């Protein structure tokens, strides 16, 4: 299996796209960074040192690979979606099956890396934010595995629309704290998790679930998630003898996308497409498409594209998918957008619902609503592409958690 994190700074060419961020955590000199209160600064710096040390330690890699293989169940398959390919009538569609990981999404890749790091650092208490609950469940899972105290902050709105995951987290022994501030979604949960961390710095590790937050989180989470892209590369090589032509992934904070994009950044023949949640539509005012409808600003420790008003107040995001309902995006995506190395597009709530049903009926795979956004965009472009085009969709999570939301939108009462 590809070593998931050793490539962090190992790209050979000087013109590589894989040498970001710089030592200050800046991507392209502008995005990312460390925008946190002084109380947290020493902790962020300590975390950076600890992560650099772990990255250079073969024992850490060995331990991570052990858990990836025997606990998460990696590698995940790259599935040729025959019926979907026929239905779309164009590009050959492959699905990277991250929904088959333990806990049902790509989230565990990152969580496992960070919990091993937290243990190395001697921390005993974990706090995390969650939107859809996938990151919360993954975090609660590893805390159960290692017998660590776990507190999950979740927006009150999300607690309501993701009840099964809330119950899972509690079964796993986590304390789930509903956050009523703001609209009660992921952004508010993130604020509250940061408040907890700042008040409990001595024993607490903050386990951020996406490629955002102060440096080193965006780079570290990307490194832990890059196992997705490394495997995809090798698996496509084995199946087709070459690289894919197009890689499509959904973007909320952007960790599953960064994980599958990163190993392909220097393979410039590979088109990388990030699909943001357009909500009711990109221009509806009810959207979560931070790159397409936002502008750069500073929130939650980093500079990145944000949905904000003219005065720099952060707007509420909207998406049918709780996991994409966030007004920001990882800073590396902001940079990749600006330099044109990746394309960022949107899929609406309605398109995601259609794709959710389509994937379920054609492939027998119920995708997460988050991943359904990527499928929706693949469905849009596949017919315009030649039959020898290889298109990979990152199927980042399974949709069992979403059946209540989907049923409600389809007018079915369960």
Partner 1 sequence: MSRIAARFKALAAQGRGALIPYLEAYDPDRETSLELFRAMPAAGADLIEVGMPFSDPSADGPVIQAAALRGLKAGATLVGVLDMVAEFRKGDDETPVILMGYVNPVESYGYERFCKDAAAAGVDGLILVDLPPEEGAVIAAPAQAAGLDIIRLVAPTTPDARLEYVLGHASGFVYYVSIVGITGTRSASAHDLAGAIPRIRAATDLPIAIGFGVRTPEQAAQAASIADGAVVASALLATLAQTLDEQGRATSQTLPRVLEQIRGLAQAVRAAGQQPE
Positions marked catalytic: 107, 129, 396
What CA–CA distances, in Å, run from 378 to 63, 300, 390? Answer: 36, 31, 11
Q: How far is the CB of 303 from partner 1 (least distance, A)?
A: 8
| CA nearest to 162, candidates 394, 374, 371, 368 | 368
Nearer to partner 1, 41 or 410 (CB): 41
CB 168 within 8 A of CB 247: no
Indicate whether 22 belongs to the interface with partner 1 (CB under 8 A).
no
Closest approach of Cβ 177 to partner 1, in Å? 13
201 touches partner 1 by CB under 8 A: yes
> In what side-by-side order are the strands of the sheet with 204-206?
175-179, 149-155, 125-130, 204-206
Q: Which of 16, 39, 237, 384 binds partner 1 (CB under 8 A)?
A: 39
Considering only the stretches 222-230, 242-250, 301-309, 405-413, report the one whose residues sit in contact with partner 1 under the rule CB under 8 A: 301-309
| From 12, 14, 38, 340, residue interacting with partner 1 (rule: CB under 8 A) | 38
Mark residues 73-102: x for contact with partner 1 by CB under 8 A, - for none.
------------------------------
311 is a site residue for partner 1 (CB under 8 A): yes
> Is 298 a binder of partner 1 (CB under 8 A)?
yes
Give the three-state DSSP class for 348.
strand
Nearer to partner 1, 104 or 327 (CB): 327
Cα-Cα-Cα-Cα torsion 84, 369, 102, 208, nearest 10 degrees, comes to: 130
Closest to partner 1 by CB, 202 vs 238, is 202
Question: Whose Cβ is closer to partner 1: residue 191's or residue 256's?
Answer: 191
Does the footprint of partner 1 cover residue 414 (CB under 8 A)? Answer: no
Residue 239 within binding range of partner 1, rule CB under 8 A: no
Strand 271-279 and strand 175-179: the pairing is unpaired
Smaller CB distance to partner 1: residue 31 or 94?
31
Considering CB under 8 A, how many residues would be counted as binding partner 1?
Answer: 37
Out of 108, 174, 194, 329, which residue is the one contacting partner 1 (CB under 8 A)?
Answer: 194
DSSP element (H, E) containing 372:
helix 369-381
Residues in CB range of 95: below 8 A, 6 or more apart: 78, 79, 81, 84, 363, 365, 392, 393, 395
C-alpha separations of 269 from 246, 272, 298, 390 in Å:
9, 9, 33, 12
- Please state the closest distance from residue 197 (CB atom) to partner 1, in A: 10
d(CA 79, CA 239): 10
Spatial contact of 141 and 102, defined as CB atoms under 8 Å apart: yes
Position among 14, 15, 269, 313 found at the interface with partner 1 (CB under 8 A) = 313
Pairing of the two strands 149-155 and 246-251: unpaired
Using CB under 8 A as the criterion, which residues of the chain lie in contact with partner 1 when the complex forms? 24, 33-43, 45, 181-182, 187, 190-191, 194-195, 198-199, 201-202, 297-301, 303, 306, 308, 310-314
């Amino acid at each position: 299996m590809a070593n998931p994190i050793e490539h962090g700074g190992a790209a050979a060419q000087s013109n590589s796209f894989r040498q970001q961020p710089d030592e200050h955590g800046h991507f392209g000199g502008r995005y990312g960074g460390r925008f946190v209160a002084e109380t947290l600064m020493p902790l962020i710096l300590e975390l950076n040192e600890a992560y650099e040390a772990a990255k250079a330690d073969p024992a850490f890699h060995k331990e991570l690979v052990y858990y990836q293989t025997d606990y998460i169940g990696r590698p995940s398959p790259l599935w040729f979606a025959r019926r979907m390919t026929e239905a779309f009538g164009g590009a050959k569609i492959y699905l990277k099956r991250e929904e088959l990981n333990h806990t049902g999404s790509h989230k565990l890749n990152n969580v496992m890396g960070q919990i091993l790091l937290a243990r190395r650092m001697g921390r005993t208490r974990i706090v995390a934010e969650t939107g859809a609950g996938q990151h919360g469940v993954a975090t609660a899972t590893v805390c159960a595995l290692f017998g660590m105290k776990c507190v999950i902050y979740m927006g009150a709105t999300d607690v309501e629309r993701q009840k099964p995951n809330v119950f899972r987290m509690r079964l796993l022994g986590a304390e789930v704290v509903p956050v009523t501030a703001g609209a009660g979604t992921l952004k508010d949960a993130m604020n509250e998790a940061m408040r907890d961390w700042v008040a409990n710095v001595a024993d607490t590790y903050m386990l951020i679930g996406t490629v955002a937050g102060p440096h080193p989180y965006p780079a570290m989470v990307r490194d832990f998630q890059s196992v997705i892209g490394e495997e995809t590369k090798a698996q496509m090589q084995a199946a087709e003898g070459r690289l894919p032509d197009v890689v499509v992934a959904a973007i909320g904070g952007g960790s599953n996308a960064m994980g599958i994009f990163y190993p392909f950044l220097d393979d410039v023949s590979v088109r990388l497409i990030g699909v943001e949640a357009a909500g009711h539509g990109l221009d509806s005012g009810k959207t979560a498409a931070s790159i397409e409808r936002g502008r750069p600003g500073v929130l939650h420790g980093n500079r990145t594209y944000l949905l904000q008003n003219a005065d720099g107040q952060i707007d509420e995001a909207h998406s049918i998918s709780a996991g994409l309902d966030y007004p920001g995006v990882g800073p590396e995506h902001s940079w990749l957008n600006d330099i044109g190395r990746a394309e960022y597009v949107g899929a609406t709530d309605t398109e995601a619902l259609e794709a959710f049903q389509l994937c379920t009926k054609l492939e027998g795979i119920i995708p997460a609503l988050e991943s359904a956004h990527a499928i929706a965009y693949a469905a849009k472009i596949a017919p315009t592409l030649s039959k020898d085009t290889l298109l990979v969709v990152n199927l980042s999570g399974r949709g069992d958690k979403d059946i209540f939301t989907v049923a409600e939108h389809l007018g079915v009462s369960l």
